[in-house]
Amino acid sequence: MTDILIDKKKLIDVFCFILASARGCLDEPPVYGPLRLLETYTMLIDALKEGDVPSVFLEEKERIESYMMMCMYNEKSFEEELNKSLARIVNAIAD
Amino acid sequence: MDVCEAIIKRRSVRSFSDRTVEKELLIRLIEAAIWAPSGSNIQPWHFVVVTDEEQRSKIKAFAPGLAGVPPALIVICTDMDLCERKGGRLGRDVLSLMDAAFAAQNINLLAVELGLGTCVVRSFNQSAIQGILKLPGYLVPQLLIAVGYPEKIPMAPGRRNIQDVISWERYG
């Protein structure tokens, strides 16, 4: 397995984001939970500097960014997009 | 721009250009904010304007609701001691947040006229922001407003039909 290089500052930002989100989600609308998880996904991709991460994960970031705010106004479509993301990743891993 | 136009055109902007927001415009936004109504005219607000890159980045780390790192942030704080002293429990528990929201909307509407975009955020860790901004304990950050020149202006989300949200004389 090859090592991955991560931007230290961005990783620290992710740690802070996760903790703040965990505390926030106790009080916030339930749908914010999935939203914060998707945001963490995109932040981690942004934090990668180099390494052998399959391109399907990198490509999924853009798709996630295009639909993640849908959770605030169209939960049904948000769920559909999330299912599609999962399907793409599963297909890529299963191959 | 008339008020109705600003009300209709306002959006929660989450994508900003790198262009710096001029200090004069930020001051104008605060000048609008202080003309908001407040319970018992307490005017409990204190505004911390943040433009420094490192400071914005620190705030962003503990504000999950903040999209990206906007060029400027306005942190609307309320003096909770003042709220309780002059407004009692109502002042402390209810009006403190309402007053911050009134001020925020004044900022939002003037921003439209100035060609700026804003987004009001409540999803942040209050204790963390207090620490980063070195706020005294009685000054509580209630709302963050991201401010900048919009990169992308979102479409208006749908609105509930006015017929469904209005009643005359009594409910129904």
pLDDT of residue A82: 95
Sign of CA dihedral A67, A72, A74, A77: positive
> Model confidence over B73-84: pLDDT tens digits?
999 999 999 999
Of B14, B64, B158, the CB nearest to A20: B64
User: Do the chains contact at A16 and B61, CB–CB below 8 Å?
Assistant: yes
pTM of the predicted protein model: 0.89
Section B83-107 average pLDDT: 96
Q: What interhelical angle do B96-113 and B23-33 show, nearest 10?
A: 130
- Is residue B65 pLDDT above 80, yes or no? yes
> Model confidence over A77-87: pLDDT tens digits?
999 999 999 99
Of A55-59, B10-14, B29-33, B37-41, which range is least confident?
A55-59
Q: Could you give the percent of chain B with pLDDT greater than 70?
A: 100
Which residues of chain B have a CB within 8 Å of the CB of A24?
A: 64-65, 123-125
Of B14, B61, B125, the CB nearest to A24: B125
Distance between CA A3 and CA A36 in Å, rounded? 26
User: Do the chains contact at A24 and B157, CB–CB below 8 Å?
Assistant: no
pLDDT of residue A49: 84
Q: Which residue has the tokens 């989450």?
A: B14
pLDDT of residue A1: 58
Count contacts between A and B (CB, < 8 Å).
Answer: 33
pLDDT of residue A93: 85
User: Do the chains contact at A73 and B63, CB–CB below 8 Å?
Assistant: no
- Is residue A2 pLDDT above 80, yes or no? no
Residue of A nearest to B125 (CA): A20
pLDDT of residue A10: 93
Q: How far is A16 from chain B (nearest CA, A)?
A: 5
> Model confidence over B7-19: pLDDT tens digits?
999 999 999 999 9
Higher pLDDT, A52 or B107: B107
Which residues of chain B have a CB within 8 Å of the CB of A19?
A: 125
User: Do the chains contact at A20 and B57, CB–CB below 8 Å?
Assistant: no
User: Do the chains contact at A69 and B57, CB–CB below 8 Å?
Assistant: no
Reported ipTM exceeds the 0.90 cut: no
How many Cβ atoms sit within 10 Å of the Cβ of residue A43? 16
- Is residue B123 pLDDT above 90, yes or no? yes
Q: How far is A1 from chain B (nearest CA, A)?
A: 31
Q: How far is B31 from chain A (nearest CA, A)?
A: 31
> Model confidence over A44-76: pLDDT tens digits?
999 998 777 888 998 999 999 999 999 988 999
3-state secondary structure string across A27-76: CCCCCHHHHHHHHHHHHHHHHEEECCCCHHHHHHHHHHHHHHHHHHCCHH
Which residues of chain B have a CB within 8 Å of the CB of A12?
A: 61
